[in-house]
Amino acid sequence: MSGSLQSLSFYRCSGITDDGLEQVSAGCPNLLIVELYRCFNITDEGLENLSKGCHALKSLNLGYSVAISDRGIASVFRNCPNIGTINISYCRGLSGVGFRGYTSSLSYLEAESCMLSPDGLLDVVSGGGLEYLNLHGFRRSTELDILGRIGYAEKLRFLNLRNCRSLTDDSVIAIASGCPLIEEWNLAGCPGVDLPGWSAIGLRCNKLKILHVTRCRNICDQGLQALRDGCVGLEVLYIDRCGKIIPHDLALFSIARPNVKVRPGEIVCIGPSIEDLFRLQ
């Protein structure tokens, strides 16, 4: 192993084990970036082994590393105080409480299809520095909407809630009120957002540049009007397959807001590219 190595990828490497990460930790103490995407044999012990020797870590990709728990995440944050980017997508054994008290450096979190608890989600967002959050397909064992806790992330700029079917107006209002810096918000496929939610976005989200509402079945002409009359910084509106919106409604929107690009279709990924965050600058 090279002591000068700063970036290491075990992308889809099923052969890497906890013992292997202990060797990495001993031989590569200056690592800044580690990718363990789909490394199914890595457990909490492996994360602890890695973090004990690689204190300079800034970016960690754990997507689909399904054997890890909150204990492993807590060891990473405890030993690596500069962690700014982490991917825990599809790590459904995580509740989020492993983030508790350690997230002041965290600015970018991918947590697609995770099953965070109410306390865990609050721990994730309460560090104070989070700017990007992807909860696409957020899953809960019950239909209880806990997403209003995102409103504590006051520096948040990019929020992906695509296909969050439990999202309600109450949470949208809390987020719109608590996150005034949001620039891009993906709400595609969120059927629970109705007029109070759209009104809150129009009223509160003055920094919003890009909004995604494709497949939002409860946006109607009044909701579209609320966005039209508010969202003073809006530049792009993705809207498609919204059954209560007719072409006449979109025409009125475009007449009133000619500088806003109204686009059909659906975008999955928003904000800065995660691939760029796992490259040395």
Least confident of 41-55, 74-88, 140-154, 264-278: 140-154
Using an 8 Å Cβ cutoff, are 260 and 254 in contact?
yes
Of 15 and 207, the structure prediction assigns the larger pLDDT to 207
**Does the pLDDT at position 141 exceed 70?**
no
**Does the pLDDT at position 203 exceed 60?**
yes
**Does the pLDDT at position 243 exceed 90?**
yes
Using an 8 Å Cβ cutoff, are 128 and 104 in contact?
yes
Could you report the per-residue pLDDT of 150-191, keeping only the tens digit for each? 999 999 999 999 999 999 999 999 999 999 999 999 999 999
Confirm whether 53 is domain-assigned: yes
**Of 171, 231, 241, 178, nearest in space to 206 by CA:** 231
Confirm whether 61 is domain-assigned: yes
Confirm whether 129 is domain-assigned: yes
**Does the pLDDT at position 273 exceed 90?**
no
**Does the pLDDT at position 2 exceed 70?**
no
Confirm whether 225 is domain-assigned: yes
Find the helix packing angle between 221-229 and 247-256, rounded to 10°.
Answer: 10
Determine phi and psi for 63, rounding to 5 degrees.
-50, 130
Confirm whether 166 is domain-assigned: yes
Query: How do strand 108-110 and strand 261-263 relate by DSSP bridges?
Result: unpaired
Residue 95 structural domain: 7-277
CATH number at residue 271: 3.80.10.10
Confirm whether 2 is domain-assigned: no
Question: Looking at residue 242, what is its pLDDT?
Answer: 98
Q: What is the rounded average pLDDT for all residues in the chain?
A: 94
Domain tally, the chain: 1
What CA dihedral angle connects 222, 165, 160 and 105, to 10 degrees? 130
Confirm whether 1 is domain-assigned: no
Confirm whether 160 is domain-assigned: yes
